[in-house]
Structure 1
Amino acid sequence: MERRAMIAGLMGLGALPLAACGGRRVEPETATQGTLRSPRLHPPKFGDHDPVDFPQPHPNRFAVHGIDLARFQSNVDWPRARAGGVNFAFVKATEGGDLLDPNFKAHWRGAMGAGVPVGAYHFYYFCTPPEVQAQWFIRNVPKRRGMLPPVLDMEWNPYSPTCKLRPPAAEVRRQMRKWIAIVGAHYGQVPIVYTTPGFYADNELSKVRSVEYWLRSTATHPREKFPGQHWHFWQYSGTGIVPGIAEPTDLNVFHGSSQAWAAWLEARRV
């Protein structure tokens, strides 16, 4: 995400609702009628400034597409984006213990106003305690009925001018669990974990169980970069072209059919 410029005790549970996981191909589907809890799906009309010839299953074989965005995207025409295939959106809210993304409120309100299922993410900062970061996220992200689960964005940030700290893997996982527990308790849903191949490997994140993963893999299928790891969301491009958005935008798919998406929304919305 940034690389471009649980409830206490839930960690021990293994009963999160799961969509289809693994490497199974999912056939694309046409737009379907929706309800308030399960909005109509729109087929993607996305392009890419730097397209990749993905091996099968190609991202376009998945039924449910969406985006994530932050301060880099502005003046989003949300109704146009939704009609163009944005079936969900994750927007950056906070970073560390004192940074609020300047476009968060506009993205949040715009997505909700257009009927796009939307959630917020927090970019983790290793020089601030997890408790402080969790409370900063809670302070700035309103708890709204129907919002997607919160997201914890875990990746190294070599561009940070203020924090170069890279804790040992066990300490990274401890801090993750602390943030997840506090934030999950507040919103009533276990946060999703977003991560990159290098960070995942460095910190043995396969040991952090009972969470859903959102994986970045912009050159190949996640099974190549994260062998054996189940996932729910795949960020496959950082250079997408999306109707209603002037700037390059991250593109994502949900791992499952339209029916699996409806079931996931029913179970995982706040």
Structure 2
Amino acid sequence: MRFSGVPAILFACLAVAGCTSSSGIDDILAQKPSLETTSSVARPASPVPTADVVIEAQAEEVLAWAGPVPTPEALVPQTRVTGMPVPAEKPVAMLTPPKPTVRTRSPVRAQIYSRQFRDAKPINFGKASPKRLAVHGVDVSRWQGEIDWAKLRTQGANFAYIKATDGGDHLDPMFKKNWRAAHEAGLKRGAYHFFYWCRVASEQADWFIRNVPRVPGALPPVIDVEYNGESSCKRRLSPQKIREKMQVFMDRLERHYGQRPIIYTAPDFYRDNLQGAFLDYPFWLRSVAAHPSKVYPGRKWIFWQYSGSGLSQGVNGKIDLNVFHGSEDQWHDWADARSS
């Protein structure tokens, strides 16, 4: 369904209603943080690039400047996109052109490298092994330090999700370098945001938009939602409030990037907050001990993070390993659709 014009006042009301939340006694739960932590939240033993990281605070903060925040009027029209964005309607020509344009698939497609990764803590997934799937990739953050992206690609990293932002004012100090270098090495790249429950959702979306370019061929943006015992934000919201904040954030990104965001999550957070929700959104699931079908019954997924202890040439220390849910041809079709 397409909406041609939503009054600015209604847009503002929706943003305020969806992204402002208060947590009462009933909203604060007693769950312990998950042991299913990713490299984006777990500090490794090896040295990493230093950077000044601002501690997340409850009070109002001034955002670091990284360019103007797009106004609602400057964003793509408010169209709920399912899959790829629908182009605006154009008048039908009265006469057929003598040489109509024919859209053809590009004969050249990026090479898919087979998986050469090792694992510090290998798991036997049996017949459901991720090794049976064709297209593998990685996700990285500052904790991986300097990466030889060309070497990493030949080891089986055909795509990479790169940590960009978290909260409303944190930028991963390696994001710009990783974003550029991954592309130069020929990897399909996407960016992810670690969501903070103590910050306003629209504020976090604006921060991500300021720092992550909108470029053809980029993979859909990702919202990373999980428990993090190392965070300064200890708030535990109700499932309803969590879903409201996520929806505000994802709607804002979808309007700007023209792609529906992917939801990354871990088993305990999913169990407590996301079962049966967001059925029309793609999911990226962390499951390092069993196939996702056993950990997330009935949930469809597009990416599976099957290891947090991967080892590879081109990177020092451990790295998260992922796989695409499909064949090589399905990967190319899915990725090519995001290049148009």
Aligned equivalent of 2:306, options 232, 236, 240: 236
**Secondary structure at the counterpart of residue 335 of structure 2:** helix
Paired position in structure 1 for 2:223: 152
Q: Distance in 2 between matches of 1:146 and 1:200?
A: 29
Aligned equivalent of 1:256, options 326, 329, 335: 326
Query: Does 1:49 pair with 2:49?
Result: no
Instruction: Please tell me the residue identity of whatever aligns with 1:255.
Output: H
Q: Distance in 2 between matches of 1:71 and 1:142?
A: 19
Aligned equivalent of 1:106, options 158, 177, 183: 177
TM, length-normalised to structure 2:
0.70
Paired position in structure 2 for 1:123: 194
Query: Does 1:66 pair with 2:66?
Result: no
Q: Distance in 1 between matches of 2:240 and 2:108?
A: 38
Paired position in structure 2 for 1:25: none
Query: Does 1:143 pair with 2:227?
Result: no
Q: Distance in 1 between matches of 2:272 and 2:291?
A: 20
Paired position in structure 2 for 1:183: 253
Q: Distance in 2 between matches of 1:165 and 1:256?
A: 37
**Secondary structure at the counterpart of residue 143 of structure 2:** coil
Q: Distance in 2 between matches of 1:7 and 1:193?
A: 23
**Secondary structure at the counterpart of residue 119 of structure 1:** strand
- Could you list the per-position Cα deviations for residues 45-90 of structure 1 after superposition, in whole angstroms to 9, with x for gaps in the alignment? 1001111111321010000000001011111111111111110000
Instruction: Please tell me the residue identity of whatever aligns with 2:240.
Output: A
**Secondary structure at the counterpart of residue 201 of structure 1:** helix
**Secondary structure at the counterpart of residue 170 of structure 1:** helix
Structure 2 residue runs without a partner (length 5+): 1-37, 44-75, 85-104
Comparing 58-67 and 38-47, the one that deviates more: 38-47
Query: Does 1:16 pair with 2:54?
Result: no
| Shift, 1:16, TM fit | 3.1
User: Identity of aligned pairs, percent?
Assistant: 44
Change (3 A) 1:198 1:204: same
Change (3 A) 1:49 1:243: same
Change (3 A) 1:88 1:7: farther
Query: Does 1:4 pair with 2:73?
Result: no
| Shift, 1:4, TM fit | 2.5
Q: Distance in 2 between matches of 1:44 and 1:92?
A: 22
Q: Distance in 2 between matches of 1:176 and 1:115?
A: 31
Paired position in structure 2 for 1:80: 151
| Shift, 1:143, TM fit | 1.1
| Shift, 1:130, TM fit | 0.4
Paired position in structure 2 for 1:21: none
- Could you list the per-position Cα deviations for residues 107-148 of structure 1 after superposition, in whole angstroms to 9, with x for gaps in the alignment? 111101111000000000000010000000000111111111
**Secondary structure at the counterpart of residue 228 of structure 1:** coil
Comparing 121-130 and 102-111, the one that deviates more: 102-111
Aligned equivalent of 2:287, options 188, 201, 217: 217
Q: Distance in 2 between matches of 1:7 and 1:42?
A: 38
Paired position in structure 1 for 2:22: none
**Secondary structure at the counterpart of residue 265 of structure 1:** helix
- Could you list the per-position Cα deviations for residues 83-114 of structure 1 after superposition, in whole angstroms to 9, with x for gaps in the alignment? 11110000000000000011111111110111
Q: Distance in 2 between matches of 1:173 and 1:93?
A: 22
Q: Distance in 2 between matches of 1:149 and 1:85?
A: 20
2:139/2:161 contact within 8 Å kept: yes
Paired position in structure 1 for 2:165: 94
Comparing 197-206 and 219-228, the one that deviates more: 197-206
By relative contact order (CA 8 Å, sep 6+), the higher-ranking structure is 1
1:37/1:146 contact within 8 Å kept: no
Instruction: Please tell me the residue identity of whatever aligns with 1:127.
Output: C
Q: Distance in 2 between matches of 1:195 and 1:37?
A: 34
Q: Distance in 1 between matches of 2:108 and 2:210?
A: 26
| Shift, 1:166, TM fit | 1.1
Q: Distance in 2 between matches of 1:233 and 1:249?
A: 16
Q: Distance in 1 between matches of 2:189 and 2:109?
A: 12
Instruction: Please tell me the residue identity of whatever aligns with 2:120.
Output: H
Misfit runs of 4+, over 3 Å: 6-9, 34-38
Instruction: Please tell me the residue identity of whatever aligns with 1:144.
Output: V
Paired position in structure 1 for 2:242: 172
Q: After superposition, where does 1:22-33 map in structure 2 within 5 Å?
A: none
Instruction: Please tell me the residue identity of whatever aligns with 2:226.
Output: E
1:7/1:190 contact within 8 Å kept: no
| Rg larger for | 2
1:153/1:193 contact within 8 Å kept: yes
How many residue pairs were aligned? 250
**Secondary structure at the counterpart of residue 218 of structure 1:** coil
